[in-house]
Amino acid sequence: MIDSRRSFFIKSAKIGLGASIFSGMPLSAISSMRKYVSPNEKINFGLIGCKGMGWADMKSILKNSETDCIAICDVDENVLNNRSNNVEEVTGKKPLLYEDYREMLENKDIDAVVIGTPDHWHCLNLVNSLEAGKHAYCEKPISNSIAEANIMLNSAKKHNKCVQIGQWQRSGGQYKEALDYLWSGKLGDIRLVKVWAYQGWYGWVDNKPDTNPPHGVNYNMWLGPAPMRKFNQNRFHFNFRWYWDYAGGLMTDWGVHEIDIALYGMKAKDPISIMASGGKFGYPNQDTETPDTLQTIYKYDNFTMLWEHANGIDGGNYGKGEGIAFIGNNGTLVVNRGGWEVIPERDHRNGGNFHIKKIPKQSVDFNALDAHTKNFIDCIKNNDPNSLNCGIESGSIAAINAHMGNIAYKTGNKIYWNKERGNFGYDYKANSLITPKYNNGWKLPKI
C-alpha cells in the first residue's frame, strides 16, 4: 500500500512539473511522426544508462527524424531488454546491446551518445566518449566533484565536440523572457537571489537490508569508481542520489537547475565564500546520507545567493515548490517551470508608489526538453559547440557551485574560494573534498 501510494504521488508530482519530459507522448505516436531520412544523413546515437532521464532524453531526441538509436548500454539486463523493445517500437529495429560502455564506444557508426548514468559515472563516461570522437548529451549534474567537473570541461575543450548538459531550463521560453526583463535593469540593483527546491514527492526511503544483487545486474560495473560495498536496493536505481558515494542529494540533483539560471542571470561564476547549515531533520532515522534540509549562503562580488531545499515537503518560497527569485531594489522577479512574474516594491521615501509595474504570472506551454535536445541536434549538424543552449562550461559552473555548497555543509565551516588557485586556500578539510578517490581499479581521467 505504501509503495502504491508513493508511486501515485511521484507520478502526480512529475505531471505537475511539466513532466511531458518524463511521461511524454506514447512511443507509437513518436514512431508515427518520424519521416524517412536517408541513412547517410542520420545522426546515430548510443545511450549509456537507460532507465530514467537517459531514456527520457533519448526519447526526446528520437522525435527528430534525422536521428536514430543504434546502440544502448546498461548494467541491468532487465532495463536493457525493456529499452531495446522501446527503441524498436520507435525506430522499427532493435539496437545493439552492451553491458560495458567502453565496448559500445568502439562502434564507429555511433556519432553521439546520451549519458544517463548515476553522477559518479559521468566523468568517465564523458571523457571516454569524447576520446572516442563522439558528441555527447550528458545528464546533470555533470559530475560528482569539483575536480571531475574541471576535467570534463578541459576534455571538451581539447576535443571540440558538442557537449550539451541536461540543464534543460536553459531552453525554456519563460526563463528567456524572465532574464530579458532582469537584464533590462528595471528591478534596480539585485542584492539577493533565492534559489530553492521543496520536493514533497520524494526523498524518503524505507530502510532495507543488504542483499545479493538482482539477477541480471552487473553490480561491480554499477559501482565503478565508487567504494566497494554490499548491494542495497536503496542505493540502486533512482535513490542512489541520496548517498555521497554516487551523488550529492537535492543540492546537486535540483540545485544545478536553479543555480544555473541564477548565475546565468547575474553573469556570475565564482563565489567569494560559502556557508551551509542543515541535516537529516525530516527523516533522521532512514539510512540515507545527504541532508533532507539545507540552507546555503553564497557571497559573490555584488550579491548573495541563498539556496534552500527540503525533501518531503512542498512549502517553498512564494508558494512555489521550486524556483529562482531575483530580489532588487525596485521589485522581485520570480521564475520557475510554471512561468514568471514580477512583484513590485513601494518607494517608501517618496510617497509609497510602486517603483515598477506588477507583472502577473506569465504561464508557459512549452516542452523545454524537446527544445533542448533539438538544439543539441542542430549543433551537431552545424558542428558548432558555441551555439549550444547549455554547453559544458555552463554545466561545470552550476555543478561546481553546488558541490561547494555540499563541501561547506560537510565541513561545517564558512569556506572561502581562491579562484586563482582553484581551491579553498589553507582550509585543508575543504580542499580534501575537491578531488574524489577512485576505487576498484578505475582511475580519475587526466587531460
Phi/psi of residue 354, each to 5°? -70, 140
Q: CA angle at residue 41 from 37 to 42, to 5 degrees?
A: 75
Q: Where are the beta strands (DSSP E) in 128-189?
A: 135-138, 163-165
* Distance, CA of 128 to CA of 106 (rounded, Å): 10
The grid cell for 89 is 517500437
Amino acid at 341: E
Distance between CA atoms of residues 248 and 244, nearest Å: 6
**Contacts of residue 400, Cβ cutoff 8 Å, sequence gap at least 6:** 146, 149, 150
Strand, helix or coil for residue 303: coil
Predicted local confidence at residue 23, as pLDDT:
52
**Residue 392 is placed in which grid cell?**
559544458
Q: Which amino acid is at 106?
A: E
Strand ranges (E), 190-254? 190-199
Domains of the chain (ranges; CATH) run 2-170+370-391 (3.40.50.720), 172-366+397-431 (3.30.360.10)
Among candidate residues 367, 351, 303, 360, the one with its CA nearest the CA of residue 329: 303
Cell numbers that stand for 232 in this block? 542495497
pLDDT value for 24: 75
Local structure of 428: helix, strand or coil: helix
User: Widest CA span of the chain, in angstroms?
Assistant: 72
CA–CA gap between residue 244 and residue 214 (Å, rounded): 22
Q: What is the pLDDT of residue 12?
A: 38
Can you tell me the distance from the alpha carbon of 22 to that of 1, in angstroms, rounded to the nearest whole number? 24
Cα 235 to Cα 242: distance, rounded to the nearest angstrom? 8
Q: Please give the model's pTM, rounded to 2 decimal places.
A: 0.94
Please state whether the peptide bond connecting residue 118 to the residue before it is cis, i.e. omega within 30 degrees of 0: no
Q: Please enumerate, as own/partner, the contacts of 82-87 that have beta carbons within 8 Å and a separation of 24 or more.
A: 83/47, 83/50, 83/51, 83/55, 86/27, 86/55, 86/59, 87/58, 87/62
Q: What residues pair up with 310 in beta bridges, in sequence order? A: 198, 293
Q: What is the model's pLDDT at position 447?
A: 87
Residue range 412-435, pLDDT digits in tens: 999 999 999 999 999 999 999 999
d(CA 117, CA 50): 8
Grid cell, residue 302, equals 555584488
Q: How much is the pLDDT for 202?
A: 85
Residue 165, judged by CB atoms within 10 A of its CB (0-12, 13-18, 19+), counts as buried
Residue 2 has what pLDDT?
37
Cα separation, 150 vs 153, whole angstroms: 5
Can you say whether the dihedral through the CA atoms of 156, 157, 159, 163 is positive or negative?
positive
| Residues constituting the chain | 447
Q: Which residues of 415-438 are buried (b: 16+ CB within 10 A; e: fewer)?
A: bbbeeeeebbeebeebbebbebeb
Q: What are phi and psi of 23, to 5 degrees?
A: -90, -55
- 29: amino acid identity, one letter: A
Q: Can you tell me whether residue 311 is helix, strand or coil?
A: strand
H-state helical runs in 294-388? 368-382
**Could you tell me if 311 and 265 are in contact, meaning their C-beta atoms sit under 8 angstroms apart?**
no
329 DSSP assignment: S
Positions of the chain with pLDDT lower than 50, given as ranges = 1-22
Question: Measured at the alpha carbon of residue 173, what is the angle toward residues 172 and 177, in degrees to the nearest 5?
Answer: 125
**What type of residue is 310?**
A
CA distance 120 to 26: 31
Site of grid cell 548565475:
263
Residue 332 cell numbers, joined? 522581485
